Amino acid sequence: MDIVFIEKLRIDTVIGIYDWERQIRQTVQLDLEMAHDNTAPAATDSIDDALDYKAVSKRLIAFVEASDFGLVETLAERCAEIVRHEFNVPWLRLKLRKPGAVRGSKAVGVQIERGTRPA
Q: What is the CATH number of the domain that holds 76?
A: 3.30.1130.10
> Which amino acid is residue 42, in one-letter code?
A
Here the contacts of 48-54 (C-beta below 8 Å, separation 24 or greater) are 50/4, 51/4, 51/87, 51/89, 52/87, 53/4, 53/5, 53/6
Which domain range does residue 85 map to?
A: 3-115
Of 58, 95, 98, 106, the catalytic one is: 98
In the 8-state DSSP scheme, what is residue 117?
P
What's this model's pTM, rounded to 2 decimal places? 0.94
Q: How many domains does the chain have?
A: 1
In the 8-state DSSP scheme, what is residue 104?
T
E strand or H helix at 63, and its extent? Answer: helix 53-66
98 labelled catalytic: yes
Q: Report pLDDT digits (tens) over 79-119.
A: 999 999 999 999 999 999 999 888 888 999 999 999 998 87
